[in-house]
Amino acid sequence: MVNIPLIITPFSLGYNITSSKAIPKGIFCKELQSWGIDTHLFDMLDNFELSGMMQILYIDNQVMFIMRDLKSFVVILKDEDLLRQLHYDKANNAYSYREDDYIFLSDTQVNREEGIAKLCAFITSLMAHKQRYKKLIIYNDHDLYYNLEIINPDNYYKVCEDDAITLYAPNYRPKKAPALSMDIVLTATSEIIGHIAFSLKPRDADNFAYDGNVEYRIRPLFQNQNYATRALKLVRDLTLQYGDEVNKELYIAIAKDNRASIKVALKCGGQLYYDGEVPKNHELYIYDHLTHVLVYKI
């Protein structure tokens, strides 16, 4: 089959890789329906015609369909033996991935290792096509992994780990920087399940702050599974390896009704250091409307 892409874009039919051709919408939808595509995809077409871009390509005996706007991203790759579909919904930060009758949803806990492995293999295929055809409207590998909340080891380095999670920092961040922002990654699946950051001042300065100098968040799907405790312990142990030029004390600020975070602090050996009002000129008071805070020293 000749590798000539057929491209549809609402902005300009002149946008192309090697050539372009307008395809009547009725014929286009009929072709997709013959693949067994979800019917909800066709309900999206009118909106995409106004705000997004579409492409159809014939590459190496495969048919690729791409549809992208500011809120969603759909990629379908079809060959003789397999139909693969990825639909990312940016508004709800959710995605679904399908291989023929196999379905993996981003909010399921069932068979995540298998689902993520299949999804990563699909991303690898997409990136191979992106390397060959630079004007594909697929996200680049960094953005695609980021949107799907999967770590891309090409852009990050491993900071520390235990037997369940790994903390990764971007390659541009120096190792043992006094301020470090890291993704919390589930080692078994390479999923980004949260984020943790800390900031250390020089040795003679005070690290205490009403909003603490270490903070974390865990995605809802992965909460109440001890991952926050694991991440905070890793940061505590990491900062102990720093030199004497920095103050290694860690403080975490918690709303007084946040029992889950209080338990995390106590599990990490935290001691209550401050229990009191937040100054009215502090960001916690102004932006988070927090009037009272507990600060634990880890």
Q: Residue 191: beta bridge partners?
A: 150, 186
- Across the range 119-146, mean pLDDT stands at 84
Q: Which two tokens stand for residue 15?
A: 């946008």
Confidence class of residue 33 from pLDDT cuts 50, 70 and 90? low
One-letter amino acid for residue 270 of the chain? G
**What percentage of the chain reaches a pLDDT higher than 90?**
48
**What is the phi-psi region of residue 36: left when phi exceeds 0, alpha when psi lies from -120 to 50, beta otherwise?**
left
pLDDT digits 0-9 by tens, 249-272:
999 999 999 999 999 999 999 999
Q: In terms of pTM, does the model score above 0.85?
A: no
Domain boundaries of the chain, sorted by first residue: 6-147, 156-297
- Across the range 45-73, mean pLDDT stands at 68
Q: Which two tokens stand for residue 134?
A: 């630079």
Which residues lie below 8 Å from residue 124, measured CB to CB, with a gap of 6+?
none
What is the pLDDT of the chain when averaged over all its residues? Answer: 82
H helices of the chain, where?
A: 25-35, 40-43, 45-51, 112-132, 141-147, 227-240, 259-267, 283-286
CATH superfamily ID and name for 156-297? Gcn5-related N-acetyltransferase (GNAT) (3.40.630.30)
- Please, what's the b/e burial string for 131-149 (b: 16 or more CB within 10 A of its CB; e: otherwise)? eebeebbbbebeebbbebb
pLDDT digits 0-9 by tens, 92-111:
888 999 988 888 988 888 78
DSSP 111: T
